């Protein structure tokens, strides 16, 4: 039997030199990530009754005492950290709010992944059907300058989203970041074989809330006897091991700062990376309601 020929991989586009604007954006991202990392670390120490000391943070991050002290001084000047001589570190209200964002939900994951795209001058942000594209629209999460948006609409439904995102990566030879729901991903797992052949950066951000969260906004959600089994359809799967079986790189960040770092690695790495975000439907709904309430209050205040 003749040996089966493997499909040729797509050629990666030449890497552009880093511009001053890209360098500025990346530096801002690093500073933002450091702020969240430090505030998270201090918050966790306070929650567990451990004194938040510079030495403990240095040991945790594997950094020198001098480096951590410098970052702490910056965060104190920016209003995140309370730093008094010979006293344990504390958090301001601003620092506590930043630390509270460490749990990812669908809207914050979409916002963080979208912001990370600014590290590259051009690319395509592919919004999956169902909640991802609705969250991006409702929360006005716009792509960075130089990036285009794409999506499947109409009769396509949730089928073939991975294949579509892969097609954009092949056709454009530029980075593609696709934000997909877990049920959408489940419906197109076979297209991971296509994605494995791409060499330009293709980042598949899978929002895994264990089922179809969009149906919770429909009247059928009141019928508990049939809703979970027939509409939400929880699957109990983790997608990282599945992606690894196709030879793909995977990431499973649990915080916004960790997601930003995972995005940066994926865009630099090239090829396809699956970033799985484990979240709950409830936390995402609470976030949407909180943003809607804040927006309504702002409009009422400014236009009364």
Distances (CA, A) of 197 to 2, 10, 69: 22, 7, 45
Here the tokens at position 76 are 């104190």
List the pLDDT tens digit at each of the 304 positions of the chain.
444 444 445 454 455 565 666 666 666 666 777 887 888 889 878 878 899 999 999 998 889 999 999 999 999 999 999 999 999 999 998 888 777 666 688 888 999 999 999 989 999 999 988 888 888 888 888 899 999 999 987 655 777 899 999 999 999 999 999 999 988 899 899 999 999 999 999 999 999 988 776 766 678 767 877 767 777 677 888 999 999 999 999 999 888 878 888 999 999 998 999 999 988 877 787 878 888 888 888 888 878 7
Say what the pLDDT of residue 16 is: 56
Task: Record the pTM.
Answer: 0.68
Helix (H) or strand (E) segment spanning residue 272 = strand 272-278
CATH classification of the domain holding 69 = 1.10.10.10
- CATH code of the domain covering residue 247: 3.40.50.970
Q: Is residue 71 part of a domain?
A: yes
- Specify the pLDDT at position 8: 47
Q: Which of 53, 73, 100 is the last residue of a domain?
A: 100
Residues 38 and 65 in one domain: yes
Count of structural domains within the chain: 2
**Domain shared by 45 and 187, yes or no:** no
In 152-225, the DSSP E strands lie at 176-181, 202-208
Evaluate whether residue 12 is within a structural domain.
no
Buried b (16+ CB within 10 A) or exposed e, 22-44: eeebeeebeebbebbbbbbbbbe
Residues 131 and 85 in one domain: no
Question: Domain check: are 78 and 194 in the same one?
Answer: no
By residue range, what is the domain housing residue 184?
A: 106-294
């Amino acid at each position: 039997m003749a040996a089966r020929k493997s499909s040729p991989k797509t050629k990666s586009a030449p890497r552009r030199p880093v511009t001053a604007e890209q360098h500025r954006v990346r530096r801002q991202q690093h500073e933002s990530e450091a702020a969240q990392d430090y505030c998270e670390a201090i918050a966790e120490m306070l929650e567990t009754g451990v004194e938040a000391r510079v030495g403990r943070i240095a040991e945790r991050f594997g950094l020198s005492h001098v480096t951590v002290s410098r970052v702490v001084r910056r965060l104190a000047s920016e209003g995140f950290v309370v730093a008094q001589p010979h006293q344990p570190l504390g958090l301001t209200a601003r620092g506590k709010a930043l630390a509270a964002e460490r749990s990812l939900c669908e809207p914050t994951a979409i916002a963080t992944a979208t912001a990370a795209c600014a590290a590259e001058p051009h690319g395509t942000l592919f919004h999956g059907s169902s909640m991802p594209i609705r969250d991006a629209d409702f929360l006005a999460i716009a792509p960075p300058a130089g990036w285009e948006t794409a999506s499947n609409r109409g009769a396509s439904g949730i089928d073939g989203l991975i294949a579509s995102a892969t097609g954009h990566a092949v056709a454009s030879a530029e980075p593609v970041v696709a934000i997909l729901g877990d049920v959408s991903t489940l419906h197109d797992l076979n297209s991971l074989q296509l994605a494995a052949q791409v060499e330009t950066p293709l980042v598949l951000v899978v929002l895994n809330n264990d089922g179809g969260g969009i149906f919770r906004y429909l009247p059928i959600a009141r019928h508990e006897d049939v809703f979970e089994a027939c509409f939400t359809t929880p699957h109990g799967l983790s997608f990282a091991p599945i992606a690894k079986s196709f030879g793909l790189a995977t990431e499973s960040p649990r915080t916004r700062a960790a997601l930003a770092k995972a995005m940066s690695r994926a865009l630099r790495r090239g090829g396809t990376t699956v970033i799985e975000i484990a979240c709950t439907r409830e936390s995402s709904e609470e976030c949407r309601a909180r943003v809607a309430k804040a927006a309504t209050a702002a409009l009422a205040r400014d236009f009364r």
